[in-house]
């Protein structure tokens, strides 16, 4: 069964460094998402991406964040200058462009630790 994959599973970085989190969505999916979960808190929406552009973003997704689909298979989240409060589990998700087929398939997550 096809699945969403994410790398790395755990990333440790120092405050102020740039990080890139990688995701490979399911191959015939057209909508892509990033969510995050700070330890002990809710899963929060960051951004959705369709047709090579951002379709929706939350207030969390400020200028420090960017997303890209560089090669037709990967979907990346970049944090330009990490802060301590960016420490969280980051989930990638994808789904198809079919009316009613709005089930989002999630990857296993990348745990980001900013020290």
Span 92-111, contacts to another protein by CB under 8 A: 93, 95-109
Span 33-52, contacts to another protein by CB under 8 A: 33, 35, 41-45, 48, 50
- # residues contacting another protein (CB under 8 A): 33
Stretch that binds another protein, among 12-20, 31-39, 62-70, 71-79 (CB under 8 A): 31-39
Which tokens in the block code for residue 92? Answer: 């990638």
- Helix (H, G, I), strand (E, B), or coil: what is residue 102? coil
DSSP assignment of 36-77: EE-TTS-EEEEEEEETTEEEEE-TT--TTEEEE--SSS-EEE
What minimum distance in Å lies between the beta carbon of 108 and another protein? 4
User: Residue from 26, 31, 75, 82 that binds another protein (CB under 8 A)?
Assistant: 31
- Helix (H, G, I), strand (E, B), or coil: what is residue 86? helix
Task: Check residue 18 for interaction with another protein (CB under 8 A).
Answer: no
**Residue entry with tokens 């755990």:** 10
Which residues fall within 8 angstroms of residue 57, CB to CB, at 6 or more apart? 46, 47, 48
Task: Check residue 58 for interaction with another protein (CB under 8 A).
Answer: yes
Q: Which residues bind another protein (CB under 8 A)?
A: 4, 6, 30-31, 33, 35, 41-45, 48, 50, 55-56, 58, 91, 93, 95-109
């Amino acid at each position: 069964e096809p699945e969403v994959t994410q790398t790395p599973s755990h990333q440790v970085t120092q405050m102020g460094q740039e990080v890139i989190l990688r995701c490979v969505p399911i191959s015939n999916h057209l909508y892509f998402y990033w969510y995050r979960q700070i330890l002990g808190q809710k899963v929060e929406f960051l951004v959705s991406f369709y047709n090579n552009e951002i379709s929706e973003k939350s207030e969390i997704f400020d200028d420090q964040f960017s997303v890209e689909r560089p090669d037709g298979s990967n979907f990346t989240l970049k944090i330009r200058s990490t802060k301590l409060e960016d420490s969280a589990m980051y989930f990638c998700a994808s789904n198809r462009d079919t009316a009613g087929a709005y089930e989002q398939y999630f990857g296993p997550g990348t745990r980001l630790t900013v020290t």
